[in-house]
Chains A and B, each alone.
Chain A
Amino acid sequence: MVFQSFTYLWFLLCVLTGYFALQWPSNRGASWARSAQNLWLLAASYTFYGWVTPWWLILIATTTVVDFTATRKITAASTQRGRQQWLIASLIVNFSILCAFKYFGFFATNVTAALQSVGLPSTWLTTNPAGSFLLHVGLPAGISFFTFQSASCVIDVYRGQATSRHSLVDYALFVSFFPQLVAGPIERSENLLQQVDHPRQPSLSGWKSGLVLIFWGLFQKLVIADSAAVLANKVFALESPSFPILWAGVLCFGVQIYADFSAYTDIARGSARLLGFELLKNFDHPYLAQSPVDFWRRWHITLSTWFRDYVFIPLGGSRQGTAGTLRAVLITFLLSGLWHGASWNFVLWGVFHGLLVAVWPHLARAVPLLHRSGGRMGSVLRVTLTFSLIHIGWLLFREHTLSGLGRAFSLNPFEAPVAHWRMGLGLVAEAWIYGLPLLIVLPLLKSLHLLPASNDPRLLTWKWTTLQSLALAFCLLGIVILRSSVGSDFIYFAF
């Protein structure tokens, strides 16, 4: 089930109706209501996930049961060795499922090619029943997200940073909570599981901001992302785009991917807020980042912090020598690239960002304007340079073939005729016009205190209600008039 469908609208209405109906019989107590609501949300989440492909439920249920058991056993284990064994068992199951469904095709393709090149039998990997099955079933949506979320809880319990839960239903809801199940934010136990554990009391301000967030998310997806997608897809379908056309496509893709992913997060956060949950923040004006490190503090924040806490720091983090830090950064970003997709372009994208993050501090030391103390001029330069580097990265992200990448990086801007510059500029201008609300509306919504859930009494005055109504009307008007007729799934569904 996708957010940008009326099916989801009706689904959400049904879920909300049932959810609040379970809160009604107040004589049964808050604890009863919470448990009943959690069960209701779990059923809703499984319906949401299995809507198109019911067998995916087997995967998420397996992950849930294994990790719930692991957290219980880790807590109960009397020795460090016992705790370690359960942690390792959980991680093996989690990442085996992820690797089998996400990376087998990539692995098989490359091994087969390698075997073929040395004249060895090569088809056994893809023709045996298991290999054939894995190649043909496709990638279950959201598998990377719920695997990481559940694994983080097991690791946190192992580290003593979280406690195991007694209720399988509560844990299963934490893993499968439908607003953020398919494309994040990747929640932590200290945030989402805490809220699952306690009674929720959705507030009026939460409802108002939740509704505006949902419609703002739909606006970003249906108007901005899908419109930019049409332009970017056109360019990336060309056999031999010239330099200006290709980079116009990359800039259009930059608008598309930000609006697309941010849209999902906002609809997820808005939907959760209607239920009284507050999800983690995932974006913070990433294109205004002043360095690659800053970009990763602003883009897909929950994934960045996951890799920081569970990969980078265990690898030694930045508290080691230059070589050790470089190694940790590169491994972290390589894995981050692979997390996004099983193909070589994502590997390159990860390594590219790893190098940027590793090299930037040295560059900033050598070029004063790139340093934080460079003043306003320095800020503009840093934002522009970071924006450009990020978009070179988007080319690696969007162009899936190595031959296409080779061709793209060999283009000469001076060979392109004026007509191509005109067309390229036109495409970029069109995409940026669609993307303009990202610059204008976002600060407005923030100033209206609509993005964080706030209980500021001023928000409950008629003045604020009027402003919020206008924000909602703007989003809805944009959606009904400018929604793209070319629907597409959220990009991050594929990860």
Chain B
Amino acid sequence: MITGPVSSVSRRRALAQLATLVGAGVALPATIGHLLPRTRTSEDVVTGPNFDPAVERQFLIKKPLGWLLIGNSMLNSRLLPAHLSETSGWAVRKLAEGGTQSAIWWLFFKNVLIASGARPLWVTIFFRESDLTWPDFRIGGNNAELIRRLKTAHEPEWDQVMTGRNALPGRTTVAMEKFFGVEDHDDWARRRVQDVAFRLTALEGMKRGARRLELNEHFSLDRLRHDLGDDSGNDGKIPDARQPDGPADATDSLPPPDPGMYAQAPSVFDPSPAASFLPHFIALAARHDIRLHFHRVKRRPDANGQRPDLPVFRRYMDDLQAYLKREGCAYSDESGDRELALDWYQDGDHLNRAFREPFARKFWSLVQPQIGPPPPGGGRPPQPAG
């Protein structure tokens, strides 16, 4: 056990030493942090997704749009807009990035769709369990880069949700990053570490970029094991990960499930505007005469084709449905569909892409009573932005 302070050292001197320890220990990293190169302006900085909001906005107003689908790799592995357009007659488009969650879906909706001037009649959001009211889920790593690209200077809804939800730790993080001047240095520093590793293990003289691509191809989605039952919630990639096979789906399926991650998922449905982006979706959609539809996907079933809800989520799902009904939103749920058996799935909760066409037919037959027949031309022509 620790005993009392050494008598020969005065109390004042002891406190001065402690203050020096803390002061120097903090000031030195802060000074170095501010002296480091600004990674955002160096040429090798961006490792994030190939997503440009301006390009997406242009894409949305090119043609009439009737139905927009928003989501992550759950959507990407299930549906191709062309299949759904063909089946339903609606002009369907998609805004989906693998590994994203409700915070980014909100920015897709507000800063891409609404900002573009396009006004589809329907917007469908694909989600799992409590995704819709878990705003701080998956906002780090490469998603942080995506969020930087999507956010504007004025984001009152974002501030209300993010600050209200996790006020003290959230503000502390922002303050720490500013104090130490290292907001974007993790990617930069990790790349340096990886470069050293590549130099140390140079075989056959491959260059760094080629080695990164080689790694990313080796760890691509189609090489992942199929017996990982759940989605991991891990949005990390090997630095500079590029997705050779299209959308960044691999982020949704890498390591085994992390029990700690799901311990943090909300298990009580909270409809307040400070708790999630869901009420903001509904309010913004109403202002722009867009109807919202929420589609719950079925998670990877067992060998009998079943995936019963955890008891903790049953009440949550009931409350969510009741809320959406009250707010006039459409809702569908594929989780009870026994036909969606294990052989439809590829890895984790992703469907095998070969099933995207039959899934489009299945999906349309499920939602048709709520979505209804398409308008002439499949959708609305674009409106002026604003």
Contact = CB atoms under 8 A, between A and B. Distances in A.
B223 A460 contact: no
Given A238-B219, A460-B6, A477 B33 contact: yes
Interface stretch (B56-64, B156-164, B169-177, B285-293): B169-177
Given A136-B311, A480-B180, A480-B182, A419 B256 contact: no
A430 interface: yes
Contact of A201 (B2, B9, B219): B2
A476 B2 contact: no
Contacts of A195: 1
A483 interface: yes
Interface residues of B, number: 81
In which size bucket is the chain A interface? 35 or more
A426 B182 CA distance: 27
Interface centre among B8, B142, B227 (most CB of A within 10 A): B227
A64 B224 CA distance: 45
Interface in B162-204: 168-169, 172-173, 176-177, 180, 182, 185-186, 189-190, 193-194, 196-198, 200-201, 203-204
Contact of B310 (A7, A136, A215, A460): A136
A455 interface: yes
A208 B18 contact: yes
Interface in A26-56: 52-53
Q: Do most interface residues of chain A lie in helix, strand or loop, or is the interface mixed?
A: helix
A211 B1 contact: no
B218 interface: yes
Q: Do most interface residues of chain B lie in helix, strand or loop, or is the interface mixed?
A: helix
A372 interface: no
Given A233-B255, A240-B223, A469-B21, 18 more contacts: A7-B169, A139-B259, A201-B4, A203-B4, A203-B5, A204-B15, A211-B25, A237-B228, A423-B211, A423-B218, A426-B215, A429-B197, A460-B17, A469-B23, A472-B22, A472-B24, A472-B26, A488-B258
Interface of A: 2, 5-7, 9-10, 52-53, 132-133, 136, 138-139, 141, 194-195, 198, 200-208, 211, 215, 227, 229-231, 233-234, 236-240, 245, 273, 276-278, 400-401, 403-404, 418-423, 425-430, 433-434, 453, 455, 457, 460, 462, 465-466, 468-473, 476-477, 480-489, 493-494
The 5 A-B pairs at the shortest CB distance, nearest first, are namely A489-B260, A233-B255, A472-B25, A486-B236, A6-B169
Interface of B: 1-6, 8-9, 13-15, 17-18, 20-26, 28-29, 32-33, 36, 140-142, 144, 168-169, 172-173, 176-177, 180, 182, 185-186, 189-190, 193-194, 196-198, 200-201, 203-204, 206, 211, 214-215, 218-219, 223-228, 232, 234-238, 253-256, 258-261, 263-264, 310-312
11 contacts: A7-B168, A237-B256, A278-B1, A278-B2, A400-B256, A404-B227, A418-B204, A422-B203, A429-B197, A429-B198, A465-B21
